[in-house]
Amino acid sequence: MARAYVIAWEFQVKQDGVEKFLAGYGPEGDWVGLFRKAEGFIRTELVRSEFDLHKFITVDVWQSRAAYDNFRKKFAMEYDALDTILQELTLHEQKVGGFYLE
């Protein structure tokens, strides 16, 4: 049985972009709306730094790495379009990595 697969990203959000960032990246945001179109999406967690209120990490949980890879292939155009729109809200974006839930 495949283990759940997690993708984590770190963001430094522009001072005036936090509200829109929360709307786009939160558990009911634009990204989750896109992810929900794909088979195998479980949930997204959005966490905020206790020391820097403009620093966030998103954790996207998928049923498997294959489910995530299939999503990226099937929804590549929508993914790229949404990424282009929402990257205007950030100063820095970095993929932390892919992980398996134990």
In this prediction, residue 1 carries a pLDDT of 62
Alpha carbon distance 50, 74 (integer Å):
36
Number of domains in the chain: 1
Q: Write out residues in the chain with pLDDT < 50, as ranges.
A: none
The proportion of the chain whose per-residue pLDDT surpasses 90, expressed as a percent, equals 94
**28-51 pLDDT, tens per residue?**
999 999 999 999 999 999 999 999
Count of H-run helices and E-run strands, the chain: 4, 4
Q: Which phi and psi angles does 62 have, rounded to 5°?
A: -120, 155
**32: containing domain:** 5-100
User: Residue 55 is part of a domain; what is its CATH number?
Assistant: 3.30.70.100
pTM to 2 decimals? 0.92
Task: For residue 52, give the DSSP letter.
Answer: -
Single-letter amino acid code for the residue at 47: V
In this prediction, residue 27 carries a pLDDT of 87
